[in-house]
Amino acid sequence: MKHLQKTALWLCYATVLVSSAGAMTPLQAADNRAEEMVTAAEIGLIEDVRKSLEAGVDPNARNESGWTALMQASYNGHTEIVKLLISRGADVAVKEDAGWEALMLAAQFGHLEIVRILIRQKADVNAVSRNGSTALMFAAGNAHFEVVRVLLKQNALVDAKDYLGRTALLFAASEGHVRIVKQLIAAGALTRFPDQEGNTPLLIAVRGGHEGVVRVLASDCADLETADASGKTALQIAEEKQLKRIVQILQNAPACQ
């Protein structure tokens, strides 16, 4: 699959190069050079990126999708290209149309060294996309423990909510990431925070059958009596789904004040 994706990127890059051969206005030529550099950064062609920069292409130039070379390099884990672009003035705070920044993209895919580089360049760990997502949410939802650790150390807001009221803990719980759930709780994440639909991390974990997460949340005094939008508690959901081990965990959960 990765081979096919890489082949497709090469074909895309070749198409961009060929299209630059025809006659075009100065503005079209500049747009084409920007497209070439961003595509080269996506594929990982550092020498092509370097040549573009030396030819005067703006390090913050965007492609037709609104992405910069730094965004593509961060997304795809091309650390040396990230370093090169930053050394030539790439802005770590530039957002694409959905409000994503390079740090969010690197965090989503667990590119730890790139996350560290961007933070050293003063990338805002609490920047939000247009739908309220943060780098911590992306890292937590994708089980990138070390990235989560670095972000928390840089004072990422552990209980920040997106446009649906979802927190990093809720994302981790929904995917069954036990280690991340423990990590976030240790950092002070509130286990009883519901989203806009009334889902708490416990309700989400039970619904997904994530026994390990349920065990952690139940032992941390998650609210067992909170009901979801349909009026069902965590225990009722577990019983309905015939999740016998989870039912047992919930029934034996310590009483919380």
- What tens digit of pLDDT does each residue of 202-231 get? 999 999 999 999 999 998 877 788 899 899
Q: How far apart are CA 109 and CA 102, in angstroms?
A: 11
Q: What is the pLDDT of residues 178-187, one digit of tens each?
A: 999 999 999 9
* Partners of 227 in beta bridges: 233
Note the pLDDT of residue 6.
Answer: 47
pLDDT, mean over the chain? 90
Q: What is the pLDDT of residues 109-160, one digit of tens each?
A: 999 999 999 999 999 999 999 999 999 999 999 999 999 999 999 999 999 9
Residue among 231, 175, 185 nearest 205 (CA): 175
Task: Name the residue ranges covered by the structural domains of the chain.
Answer: 1-65, 158-257
Residues contacting 116, CB < 8 A, separation 6+: 150
End-to-end CA distance of the chain: 51
Q: Select from 3.40.50.10140, 1.25.40.20, 3.40.50.1380, 3.40.1080.10 the CATH code of 158-257.
A: 1.25.40.20
Q: What is the pLDDT of residues 61-84, one digit of tens each?
A: 999 999 999 999 999 999 999 999
Q: How far apart are CA 166 and CA 176, in angstroms?
A: 15
Residue among 131, 140, 119, 224 nearest 186 (CA): 140
